[in-house]
């Protein structure tokens, strides 16, 4: 990732209107900004959320609140708590997430 042509700026994420998408269960609310070719999001998963697809997009994901379980296509599972992140490259390892409690994430991709 190369960050070029992005002037210094601040973002009040709560001022951005979220988009809402259903999961297999629950829903995801995403507040999104684009900076050059970089997408940055504040994401809230509702309690009981489960992704309805495998994702192959690379991310840097940081759990801010709640707990997240991420499953890889090979069956490995990772339990993330606040302050925990994962990093994965585009096309490297398909993954999908779920949360029993709900969670807030900060994602850069």
Write phi, then psi, for 29 (nearest 5 degrees). Answer: -115, 120
CA distances from 54 to 3, 9, 11, 24, 29 (A): 27, 33, 30, 12, 18
96: nearest Cα among 68, 54, 56: 54
22-48 in b/e form (b: 16+ CB < 10 A) is: ebeebebebbeeeeeeeebbbbbbbee
pTM of the model: 0.92
Look at 87 and 4; give whichever has higher pLDDT.
87
Domain extents in the chain: 19-102
Query: pLDDT tens-digit profile of 60-83?
Result: 999 999 999 999 999 999 999 999
Question: 19-102 falls under which CATH superfamily?
Answer: Jelly Rolls (2.60.120.10)
């Amino acid at each position: 990732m190369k960050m070029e042509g992005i002037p210094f700026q601040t973002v009040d994420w709560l001022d951005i209107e979220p988009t809402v998408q259903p999961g297999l269960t629950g829903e995801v609310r995403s507040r999104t900004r684009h900076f050059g070719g970089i997408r940055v999001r504040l994401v809230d998963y509702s309690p009981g959320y489960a992704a309805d697809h495998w994702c192959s997009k690379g991310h840097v994901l940081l759990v801010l609140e709640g707990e997240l379980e991420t499953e890889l296509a090979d069956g490995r599972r990772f339990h993330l708590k606040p302050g925990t992140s994962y990093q994965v490259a585009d096309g490297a390892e398909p993954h999908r997430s779920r949360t029993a409690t709900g969670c807030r994430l900060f994602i850069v991709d």
